[in-house]
Amino acid sequence: MAHYFVYPDKDAMIRKGATVEGTSSQKNYGLDEILEIGKTFTQDSNVVNSTTRALIKFSITEISKSVSDGSIGSDAEYYLNLYDAGSFELMRDNSLYGYAASQSWDEGSGRLSDMPQSEEGVSWRYRTGVSESLEWKSDSQNDWGGTYYSGSGYEASQSFNKDESHDMRMNVTDIVTQWLNGSVSNDGFLIKMLGIDEVNTARYGLYKFFSSDTHTVYAPRLEAVWDDATWSTGSLTAIDTDELGKLQVYMTSFKGEYKKGTLTKIRVHGRQRYPARTFSTTSSYLDAQYLPSASCFYSIVDSKTEDVIIPFGSSSKLSCDTTGNFFRLRTEGLYPERFYRVLFKVASGSGITQSTEYYDGDHSFKVVR
């Protein structure tokens, strides 16, 4: 499977300006279940009441090792995934920006509901809490709200449309590459709106995403994606895909349970549901054939929520060897004690004559500890 997931070491929202909380620029929200990004206004006015940003850090040690040993492709792309937790009043078109944070910070153990507020841990003003008095600084100047590198290679963005999903899947390949090659240290991502949008009177709504402290399956993830497909058909013949509706796709060597952290080769076979009648001493159902190169894909979905874990795409192409088609199922990054389902997609033809068929044979498996 050419997808590898990493979960956060720490994350936190930082906030300033909420008058009802007094010194909110010193308040820590390290254990809150929600990461807010955006701004709010005082009631019935155009006065900005609060501004919020998010910090999130992933360890990339295992990714670095895997790139070095070749188990993750050197051309891998990296995506920051955050999942919507009730964003509201979003404008039709808006963007969030991700940057490489340039100073270390402590998560802390505060919550939005804390009264009195917790001031130990990262806040808008401090990196590690009030007691240590380590303020965010850039070039010897106070730069509250988090410091970060900017410019080519150190920033990313994602556009949102209010009528579409508000989940984030931001391409952060450039930033992760800087960490992997040692150009800058990994102090995590800082996610925010543009500076001018944080202070003007325009209303963009408020983004809300689940944090690593959520009790749901929607914790943030850093995703590595690469194409691991290999192709060698040997003496096999290609299966006829002119009529995809008459094709059956199924798996062998497929089990109902897989241990978390394993890598397993799963065999995939295609055959005509009703092969033409021939006079032969062997059944045509036993003939080994392969599905066409670069036009057959697999997908993994959560059986309960129907959320797509592995989408159809260039990083989920089926491979082939002299025995037939296969894909590699990597369970690292899948939640244990949950059920998942495998789907298939096969395309035939090209251009305006191309046809596509999806196959759901209810192939379910459970990831166990």
Q: Give the confidence band of 368 by pLDDT, cuts at 50, 70, 90.
A: very high
Q: Give whichever of 35-39, 54-58, 247-251, 327-331 has the largest mean pLDDT.
A: 54-58
Across 231-249, average pLDDT: 84
Please report which residue ranges of 3-60 form alpha helices under DSSP H. Answer: none
**Hey, is 245 helix, strand or coil?**
helix
Torsion 103-109-111-113 (CA) sign: negative
Q: Point out the least confidently predicted range of 1-10, 11-20, 244-253.
A: 11-20
Phi, psi of 36 (to 5 degrees): -100, 140
Across 310-334, average pLDDT: 92
pLDDT tens across 256-308, in order?
Answer: 999 999 999 999 998 876 555 555 555 444 567 888 887 899 999 999 999 99
pLDDT at 285: 47
Token digits of residue 190: 């800082």
| CA atoms of 6 and 98, how far apart (whole Å) | 17
Closest CA to 7 of 213, 168, 149: 213
**Hey, is 66 helix, strand or coil?**
helix
Encode 103-114: b = buried (16+ Cβ within 10 Å), e = exposed: bebbbbebbbeb
Q: Can you name the residues that pair with 339 across neighbouring β-strands?
A: 366
**Hey, is 53 helix, strand or coil?**
strand
What domains can be seen in the chain, in order of their start residue?
Answer: 3-225 (no CATH), 237-368 (2.60.40)
Residue 92 has pLDDT above 60, yes or no: yes
Length of the chain counted residue by residue: 369
| CA atoms of 116 and 274, how far apart (whole Å) | 71
Mode of pairing for the β-strands spanning 308-310 and 296-302? antiparallel
Q: Give the confidence band of 7 by pLDDT, cuts at 50, 70, 90.
A: very high
| pTM exceeds 0.85 for this model | yes
pLDDT tens across 44-90, in order?
Answer: 778 888 899 999 999 999 999 999 999 899 999 999 999 999 988 88
Q: Are 73 and 180 in contact (CB under 8 A)?
A: no
pLDDT at 139: 74
Torsion 88-84-175-25 (CA) sign: positive
